[in-house]
Amino acid sequence: MTILTRKTLLMGSLLIFLSGFIVTESHRIPVAGATIKDWNPVSFWYYPWGRSGVHKGIDIFAKEGTPVLAATSGLVVFSGNIAMGGNVVLILGGKWRFYYYAHLRDIAAQTGQWLNTGEVLGTVGSTGNAQGKPPHLHFAISSLFPILSQYNPNLPQAWKKMFYLDPNAFLQIAK
């Protein structure tokens, strides 16, 4: 590989990396018809919370089968079933943030698909460890890079909190 080719590759990679931070985000509540009254605003990072220790998102309660919408635009990096989350969709959005939608009854999005804000990705359900509980969407936002200002050594799993954003604060913008 020539020096020029390496330099071009490095500059291209750097440009892609930086563009992920520059991309603007539009916001919306990810459950059709939901309002801020449909979730508990203090449930984020609530302790104790089952096997995960802390609640790394919020639960938005709705009637089973209610459409779940992309809270922001992004690339679907995973669409499928996992033990705790049941039917889930994971979207990589702007600022290198992951948007996690869990306990879906049905999945409408496919891995590799681009979704725009407000597009249907599935429906509210109670799959995974939510079986037998009221239907809801577990919604979490995580960052690919740590947010050092969020570190609080007095919180359980303090180092992990640097990688999670409070969905309630994100959705307050979307009201």
Is residue 6, in this structure, part of any structural domain at all? no
Q: Tell me the pLDDT band of 174, cut-offs 50, 70 and 90.
A: low
Query: What is the per-residue pLDDT across 129-166, written as a single tens digit (0 to 9) for each?
Result: 999 999 999 999 999 999 999 899 998 899 999 999 99
Higher pLDDT, 73 or 10: 73
Quick one: which H or E segment has residue 7? Answer: helix 3-22
Is residue 72, in this structure, part of any structural domain at all? yes
Residue 19 has pLDDT above 90, yes or no: no
Residue 103 has pLDDT above 90, yes or no: yes
Q: What is the pLDDT at residue 175?
A: 52
CATH number at residue 136: 2.70.70.10
Q: What is the pLDDT at residue 49?
A: 66
The total number of structural domains that make up the chain:
1
Query: What is the per-residue pLDDT across 20-76, written as a single tens digit (0 to 9) for each?
Result: 777 777 889 999 999 999 999 889 887 766 777 898 999 999 999 999 999 999 999
User: Positive or negative CA dihedral for 110, 116, 122, 128?
Assistant: positive
Is residue 78, in this structure, part of any structural domain at all? yes
Q: Tell me the pLDDT band of 88, cut-offs 50, 70 and 90.
A: very high
| Residue 163: partners with Cβ closer than 8 Å, 6 or more residues away | 142, 143, 146, 147
Is residue 10, in this structure, part of any structural domain at all? no
Is residue 141, in this structure, part of any structural domain at all? yes
Q: What is the pLDDT at residue 1?
A: 62
Quick one: which H or E segment has residue 128? Answer: none
Is residue 35, in this structure, part of any structural domain at all? yes
Is residue 12, in this structure, part of any structural domain at all? no
Higher pLDDT, 128 or 52: 128
Which residue range is the domain that position 118 belongs to? 24-172
Is residue 14, in this structure, part of any structural domain at all? no
Q: Average pLDDT for residues 83-93, to the nearest whole number? A: 97
